[in-house]
Chains A and B, each alone.
Chain A
Amino acid sequence: MSARARGLMTSCGCGALAGLLVWALSGLPDFGAYHRLYGLYLDAHAVAQRHATNVVAAVTFDYRGVDTMIEEFILFAAVVGVALLLRAQREETEVGPRDEARGRRAPRSSDAVRMFGLGAVGPSVLVGIYIVAHGHLTPGGGFQGGTVLAGALTLVYLAGEYLVFRRVGPVELMDLSEGAAAAAFVAAGLAGLVAAGTFLLNLLPLGTIGEIDSAGLIPIVNTAVGVEVAAGMSLVLSEFLEQTLMVRGRRS
């Protein structure tokens, strides 16, 4: 098909789709005029029922916890998929992470990048842990905090070298914590199933509203998700770096 014909078809399709979207969206309630009972019920009763002041976290990790578990396995499957796709292929070899030009030194990152990167690693780790740990109290949680933690590892790579990155975040440790965190989520769910016949039932004492040790099971599941996301994102990053730095085509 010629580029012109394809462009014409795309324009027609996009125009028709825009029309259908406008038609569909005009059937929705006006912006700001929200009246869904599920959300209103949760706003009124979630804090009393679960002692978690962040209602979004209560929904994510408790009321709709099974959804989140499945989502966590989507993340898990995607990380496994990336690792599988970026393994050394049949006609490639994997060289060790070593300096290939021994006579001269590899260009280092600029001083500004190194200074900022190294200075920002500590605070980012702290912020990441804070966001994960306070997920049931304030905006944040395992997904957001986990991404910040993975970002801290990226800063190590930017500020230092690949070898430092490998030493700070060994692949074996990330593999292990990725799997263990996914298993911990399922185990927390099964505990409720065994003890009271309901998967992911919030059995633990709920504590005082607004305290860090409140909300029972939510902070535990939240932490498991935080570890999972941090390990998963770091693994994806590390797979891409490995692909660039260590995998060589035999024929090239």
Chain B
Amino acid sequence: MTFLPYAVVVVITVAGIYGVATSRNLVHMVICLSVLQSATLVLLLAMGYRTGAQAPIISTARGSRHAVDPVVQALTLTDVVVGATVVALLLALVVQAHKRSGTLDPDELRPFRG
């Protein structure tokens, strides 16, 4: 089952996009975007994995030849933080959109007046 993590990436990506496209509620849409983004986390971690390797916490100066890739893990960290802030920013936009138009349904949103 060496393809399983990649299959999970495909499933999460497609599920996220489907959710965003068919969403009838802006908060739901933001969460779907966050689901979509979590596919990149799985992809990054899956790419860096080596069978039987340990976590990149290495206690000797000699280093380790049996640790997973630390670079993709650092990138995952970046991904998580950016994802969380994007969700916060979008939810703030949703709050204002609801105040302006009184609805959270994207189909009923009118173009904003200035």
Given that A48-B62, A59-B74, A209-B60 are contacting pairs, would A249 and B99 also be in contact in the complex, using a CB cutoff of 8 Å?
A: yes
CB < 8 Å neighbour of B60 from A47, A58, A229: A47
Q: Which 4 A-B pairs have the closest CB atoms?
A: A39-B69, A78-B85, A32-B51, A44-B63
Which A7-50 residues sit within 8 Å CB-CB of chain B?
7, 10, 13-14, 17-18, 21-22, 25-26, 28, 30-34, 36, 38-40, 42-48
Interface string of B34-74 (1 = CB under 8 A from A): 00000000010011111111011111111111011111111
Give A169 to B5 CA distance when docked, in angstroms. 42
* CB–CB B63/A45 < 8 A: yes
Which interface class (under 10, 10 to 19, 20 to 34, 35 or more) fits A?
Answer: 35 or more
- The answer to the question of B78 belonging to the interface, with a C-beta cut-off of 8 Å to chain A, is yes
What is the minimal beta-carbon distance from B105 to any residue of chain A, in angstroms? Answer: 12
Taking A14-B17, A55-B70 as known contacts, 12 extra A-B pairs with beta carbons closer than 8 A to each other, sorted by chain A number, are A13-B17, A18-B13, A18-B14, A25-B3, A31-B2, A31-B49, A44-B63, A53-B57, A54-B57, A81-B92, A85-B95, A243-B95
- The answer to the question of B82 belonging to the interface, with a C-beta cut-off of 8 Å to chain A, is yes
List B residues at the A interface (Cβ < 8 Å).
Answer: 2-6, 9-10, 13-14, 17-18, 21-22, 43, 46-53, 55-65, 67-74, 77-78, 80-82, 84-86, 88-89, 91-93, 95-96, 99
* CB–CB A85/B89 < 8 A: yes
Interface pairs (17), CB distance under 8 Å: A17-B13, A17-B14, A21-B9, A34-B53, A34-B68, A36-B69, A38-B71, A40-B65, A40-B69, A43-B58, A47-B62, A53-B57, A81-B89, A82-B88, A89-B99, A143-B77, A233-B84
* CB–CB A71/B78 < 8 A: yes
Give A64 to B77 CA distance when docked, in angstroms. 12
CB < 8 Å neighbour of B18 from A14, A30, A46, A239: A14
- The answer to the question of A67 belonging to the interface, with a C-beta cut-off of 8 Å to chain B, is yes
* CB–CB B81/A71 < 8 A: yes
Given that A28-B47, A34-B69, A143-B77 are contacting pairs, would A75 and B85 also be in contact in the complex, using a CB cutoff of 8 Å?
A: yes
Task: Kindly name the residue among B13, B53, B77, B85 whose own CB sees the greatest number of chain A CB atoms within 10 A.
Answer: B85
What is the minimal beta-carbon distance from A89 to any residue of chain B, in angstroms? Answer: 7
* CB–CB A59/B64 < 8 A: no
What is the minimal beta-carbon distance from A99 to any residue of chain B, in angstroms? Answer: 23
